[in-house]
Amino acid sequence: MRIHFSDLVRPKQAAKYLTRGAAELNLATVHEALARALGYRDWYELSIFTKPNSSATTEHISLDDALRIILELADALALPEADVQHAVSRARLLRATPWSIDEHMVLRTSFWRQRVFGPPGRGKPGTIVRDKAYGSRSPAYLRYPGRPTYLLFDTGFGERADFEVATPRSPLQDFVPSRIWLPYGVWKLSDGSEVVFSRDYLPMWRISNDRTERIAPWLWIKGIVEEIHFASPGTATWASGSVREKAVGYLQRHRISELPRLTDIMPYLFAPQVESLPDGVARLYATRRGIEAQTPYAELNTRILV
Distance of CA 241 to the CA centre of its chain: 23
Handedness of CA 44, 50, 56, 57 (dihedral sign): positive
Determine the pLDDT at residue 290.
Answer: 59
pLDDT (tens digit per residue) in 64-94: 999 999 999 999 999 999 999 999 999 999 9
Residue 74 amino acid letter: A
- Return the CA Rg of the chain: 21
206 forms beta bridges with: 195, 213
Among 107, 147, 105, 142, smallest CA distance to 125 is for: 142
Residue 52 or residue 260, greater confidence: 260
Helices 27-37 and 9-19: angle between axes, nearest 10 degrees = 120
Exposed (0-12), middle (13-18) or buried (19+): which is 167, by Cβ within 10 Å?
middle
| pLDDT tens digits, 272-299 | 899 999 999 999 999 886 555 568 899 9
Residues 138-147: tens digit of each pLDDT: 999 999 999 9
